[in-house]
């Protein structure tokens, strides 16, 4: 059951002494080599150039034809792949993790699954079963990563539901569960029971084939959760598009019934909340209350949201209301409100409630650290921070050096699979890459300082 841990926190927390605002002025870059800083500057400048992101896949194919796959591969490894990806082999991933740990940062591995290919419908379950193997290997890899004695903490990894269940199924389930009055057939408890028993679930809105796929998907999700629980790895489930998110949340709620119960000790399956959606704060409040009522632990990854352009395009095409906030400022206000609510929950419910502040935004990170101090939440407690590998190191390093738990989301895998994934993520996060100007300015200033041999 959720209990109040506030008193404990105010004794053990960071609230002794004054709150020191973190400095995101690039001071922490002194921890990085000149080569790394130069590559980061070059790659971030290239990624902020819209034609490169828009035509990334075509340019890659063209460079392969012109330079041959070896040379073009070497160029990518020295630039984009090297900046944003841990590597391909276990040794390469471990090497990357050791470098992060030396800087006070932790790994959050992510299997870079692309959107379900058109052929998935024809290959039946095989594509999803292949992804299941990749997820189980990711659990193994996460568990087996070297641990730094100074950085003991929780092991986390990301999970994308649409790698294990088809987008089509999630879309159909979403249309069904968002209809008023028809959702009782699809309660989290019923799905959890089907996951556990392996008995065939029959849902009236689905045809025989879809019911079979649902059963197979539930079994895959449960296998990953069970294995992750055994290996002490927490699963952070990604949020995707609004036309499938309700189904994803239902599946996460079913996993939570089984894996976030008090006897399991702490949330093993977390959901992601996207502040750019108008209804997110309300959903977060409702879900937290439901978890509290059911005596379940509650884990949240809080993000602004990555699919803005597509969400707006879809609502425009369908003539429906745009589900996203009207502008960037409204999204930031929503993020701040969700953050405040979650931190207050954490301060009241302690280890039963966990939060990842997944943002590169300096203001959001500052707000989180200040409120953690005011609420007496310890730095090594249930609140952590998340940023992408190769992005906003000035924020991650400053947080890590100040003793906060910071995870870098790390994709890994072979060049051929990861580059299309990276290009698509860059297209989705165009505004973020273009907004990385401050990071570029800080990198450039540090490089000039080194070049001129100036000690500041």
Ligand X SMILES: Cc1cc2nc3c(=O)[nH]c(=O)nc-3n(C[C@H](O)[C@H](O)[C@H](O)COP(=O)(O)OP(=O)(O)OC[C@H]3O[C@@H](n4cnc5c(N)ncnc54)[C@H](O)[C@@H]3O)c2cc1C
Site residues (CB under 6 A) for ligand X?
A: 238-239, 272, 274, 276, 303-308, 324-325, 327-328, 331, 358-361, 364, 386-388, 409, 429, 431-432, 435
What distance lies between CA 312 and its chain's CA centroid?
22
The secondary element (H helix, E strand) that includes residue 58 is helix 56-78
Task: Give the orientation angle of helix 437-451 with respect to helix 393-401, to 10 degrees.
Answer: 80
* Residue 96: how many other CB atoms lie within 10 Å: 20
| Least distance in angstroms from the C-beta of 190 to ligand X | 26
Beta strands in 134-228 (DSSP E): 155-159
Long-range CB contacts (< 8 A, 24+ apart) of 147-151?
148/101, 148/102, 150/104, 151/101, 151/104, 151/106
Query: Burial of 448 by CB count in 10 Å (0-12 exposed, 13-18 middle, 19+ buried)?
Result: exposed
The span from the CA of 13 to the CA of 300, in Å, is: 21
Residue 206 vs 372, nearer CB to ligand X: 372
Residue 9 vs 270, nearer CB to ligand X: 270
| Least distance in angstroms from the C-beta of 276 to ligand X | 4
| Least distance in angstroms from the C-beta of 330 to ligand X | 6
Reduced to 3 states, what is the DSSP secondary structure of residue 247?
Answer: helix
CB-based contact 394:442 (threshold 8 Å)? yes
| Least distance in angstroms from the C-beta of 73 to ligand X | 27
Residue 16 vs 431, nearer CB to ligand X: 431
Residue 377 vs 395, nearer CB to ligand X: 395
Residue 72 vs 274, nearer CB to ligand X: 274
The span from the CA of 121 to the CA of 125, in Å, is: 8
The span from the CA of 439 to the CA of 429, in Å, is: 16
The secondary element (H helix, E strand) that includes residue 37 is helix 34-47
The secondary element (H helix, E strand) that includes residue 122 is helix 120-123
- At a CB cut-off of 8 Å and minimum separation 6, what does 73 contact? 415
| Least distance in angstroms from the C-beta of 428 to ligand X | 7
Residue 72 vs 359, nearer CB to ligand X: 359
| Least distance in angstroms from the C-beta of 74 to ligand X | 28
Alpha carbon separation from 175 to 41, 75, 82, 170, 242 (Å, rounded):
44, 45, 41, 9, 11
Residue 36 vs 322, nearer CB to ligand X: 322
Half-sphere exposure of 298 (CA within 13 A, CB side): 26
Residue 73 vs 411, nearer CB to ligand X: 411
Task: Give the orientation angle of helix 188-197 with respect to helix 208-230, to 10 degrees.
Answer: 80
| Least distance in angstroms from the C-beta of 240 to ligand X | 7
Alpha carbon separation from 64 to 59, 61, 72, 88, 249 (Å, rounded):
8, 5, 5, 19, 41
Residue 101 vs 387, nearer CB to ligand X: 387
Residue 259 vs 276, nearer CB to ligand X: 276
CB-based contact 192:270 (threshold 8 Å)? no
The token pair that represents 36 in the structure block: 């790394």
| Least distance in angstroms from the C-beta of 438 to ligand X | 10
The span from the CA of 178 to the CA of 244, in Å, is: 11
Q: Which of 241, 440, 270 is nearest to 357 (CA)?
A: 270
| Least distance in angstroms from the C-beta of 298 to ligand X | 17
Residue 41 vs 306, nearer CB to ligand X: 306
Residue 9 vs 24, nearer CB to ligand X: 24
């Amino acid at each position: 059951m959720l209990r109040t841990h506030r008193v404990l926190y105010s004794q053990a927390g960071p609230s002794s002494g004054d709150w020191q605002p973190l400095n995101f002025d690039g001071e922490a870059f002194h921890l990085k080599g000149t080569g790394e800083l130069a590559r980061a500057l070059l790659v971030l400048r290239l990624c902020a150039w819209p034609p490169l992101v828009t035509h990334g896949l075509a340019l890659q194919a063209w460079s392969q034809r012109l330079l041959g796959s070896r040379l073009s591969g070497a160029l990518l490894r020295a630039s984009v792949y090297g900046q944003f990806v841990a590597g391909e082999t276990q040794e390469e991933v471990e090497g990357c993790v050791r470098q992060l740990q030396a800087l006070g940062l932790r790994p959050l591995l992510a299997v870079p699954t692309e959107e379900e290919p058109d052929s998935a419908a024809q290959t039946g379950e095989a594509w999803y079963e292949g992804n299941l193997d990749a997820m189980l290997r990711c659990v193994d890899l996460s568990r087996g990563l070297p641990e730094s004695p100074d950085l003991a903490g929780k092991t986390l990894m990301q999970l994308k539901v649409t790698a294990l269940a088809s987008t089509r199924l999630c879309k159909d389930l979403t249309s069904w569960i968002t209809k008023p009055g028809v959702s009782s057939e699809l309660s989290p408890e019923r799905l959890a029971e089907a996951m556990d028993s392996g008995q065939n679930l029959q849902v009236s809105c689905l045809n025989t084939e879809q019911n079979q796929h649902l059963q197979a998907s539930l079994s895959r999700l449960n296998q990953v959760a069970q294995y992750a629980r055994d290996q002490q790895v927490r699963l952070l489930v990604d949020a995707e598009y609004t036309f499938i998110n309700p189904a994803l949340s239902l599946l996460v709620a079913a996993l939570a019934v089984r894996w976030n119960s008090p006897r399991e000790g702490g949330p093993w399956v977390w959901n992601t909340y996207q502040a750019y959606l108008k209804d997110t704060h309300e959903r977060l409040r409702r879900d937290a209350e439901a978890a509290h009522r059911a005596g379940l632990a509650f884990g949240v990854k809080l993000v602004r949201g990555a699919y803005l352009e597509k969400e707006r395009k879809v609502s425009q095409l369908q003539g429906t209301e745009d589900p996203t906030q009207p502008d960037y400022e409204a999204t930031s206000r929503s993020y701040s409100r969700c953050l405040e609510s979650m931190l207050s929950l954490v301060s009241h419910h302690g280890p039963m409630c966990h939060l990842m502040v997944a943002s590169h935004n300096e203001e959001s990170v500052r707000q989180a650290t200040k409120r953690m101090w005011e609420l007496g939440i310890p730095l090594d407690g249930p609140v952590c921070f998340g940023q992408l590998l190769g992005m906003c190191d000035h924020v991650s390093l400053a947080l890590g050096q100040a003793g906060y738990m910071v995870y870098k989301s790390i994709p890994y895998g072979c060049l051929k699979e990861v580059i299309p994934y990276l290009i698509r993520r860059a297209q989705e996060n165009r505004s973020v890459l273009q907004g990385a100007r401050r990071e570029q300015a800080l990198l450039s200033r540090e490089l000039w300082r080194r070049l001129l041999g100036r000690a500041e």
